[in-house]
Structure 1
Amino acid sequence: MLWVKAFHIVFVASWFAGLFYLPRIFVNLAMVAPGSVAERERLLLMARKLLRFTTLLSVPAIALGLWLWLGYGIGKGPGNGWLHAKLAVVLLVVGYHHACAVLLRRLASNADQHSHRWFRWFNEVPVLLLLVAVVLVVVKPF
């Protein structure tokens, strides 16, 4: 079980690292000067590769978490409301990941008109989600 936990933590940390950096690329894309085709294409390529990589990392992170929950019974029984709250945060993170994919498609097709300031705020969402998840797991307030 300790190996499963260790790998779960590694994959979650790596997944979040990608979710921290991907919106930063969106900020840079929103700041590209009109006519800078090479710079825009390079940033789009970086964003596509990072999204693909973070998607690959999310699968084992979620699978190992499910293994810990279902296979080892972590969080089952009375006094484990923290796990239900954590699962809600995980769903929010998956939704954020999906939103990043949608934004990338819109940026690639020039359909997105958000400012770089909007993307800077969007970039802070995974930090808040990670903070909540860590507090739920470590403190277990419920």
Structure 2
Amino acid sequence: MTDLLAILYPWTKSLHVISVIAWMAGLFYLPRLFVHHTERVTVGSETDQLFQMMEMKLLRLIMNPAMIATWVFGLCLVFTPGIVDWSDAWPWLKAGAVLAMTWFHHWLGLRRKEFVAGANTRPGRTYRLMNEVPTVLMIVIVVMVIARPL
């Protein structure tokens, strides 16, 4: 199996990067939708239904598949011989940031369910602040993988 992973490495890495880009796009956009949903939309209105549909499609059709693909291809990279040296600190920091990114994804999913139930209590400011989370995590991940400072 490890021989196959080594042979497929360039393809696996390419598919991983493509998946990450799609996932990150959703992680950046969904909180912005929540800001506008919170600040500009009346619960139960047609616009509320429109935002709910956009948020649901973004999460289910783009973000969820992209997150799963990111994890699958990322784990394939982890198990490819010679790619990750777990005695270094960088893969552990990267793994922690990926787990935090996954937590954030699920946090957004829970917030979407609140909008569907008409039970959102968070102000737009909360979503603006939370919109910075994927940026910080992305910086950690990219620096750990490319520069490998630790």
TM-score interval w.r.t. the shorter chain? over 0.9
- Mapped partners of 2:141, 2:99: distance in 1: 11
Kindly indicate whether the alpha-carbon contact (under 8 Å) linking 1:12 and 1:57 is maintained by their aligned counterparts in 2.
Answer: yes
Q: Report the count of equivalent residues.
A: 141
1:15-30 alignment runs, 5 A limit: 15-30=23-38
1:79-90 alignment runs, 5 A limit: 80-90=88-98
- Mapped partners of 2:102, 2:43: distance in 1: 34
SS at match of 2:79: helix
Structure 1 unpaired stretches of 5+: none
2:69 aligned residue: 60
Inter-CA distance 141–38: structure 2 relative to 1 (3 Å threshold): same
- Mapped partners of 1:77, 1:106: distance in 2: 39
- Mapped partners of 2:67, 2:43: distance in 1: 35
Inter-CA distance 126–64: structure 2 relative to 1 (3 Å threshold): same
- Out of 95, 109, 122, the residue aligned to residue 101 of structure 1 is 109
1:47 aligned residue: 55
Does 2:115 correspond to 1:119?
no
SS at match of 1:25: helix
SS at match of 2:67: helix
State the 4+ residue runs in structure 1 displaced beyond 6 angstroms.
Answer: none
Q: Deviations over 1:8-51 (max 9, x none)?
A: 11111110011100111100110134367011110110000001
% same residue: 31
2:17 aligned residue: 9
Inter-CA distance 123–98: structure 2 relative to 1 (3 Å threshold): same
Q: Deviations over 1:48-93 (max 9, x none)?
A: 0001120011111110110011133421354x32111101111000
RMSD: 1.4
SS at match of 1:58: helix
Structure 2 unpaired stretches of 5+: 1-8
- Mapped partners of 1:97, 1:39: distance in 2: 24
TM-score by length of 2: 0.88
2:137 aligned residue: 129
- Mapped partners of 1:26, 1:138: distance in 2: 32
- Letter of the 2:134 partner, please give it: P
TM-score by length of 1: 0.93
Inter-CA distance 111–67: structure 2 relative to 1 (3 Å threshold): same
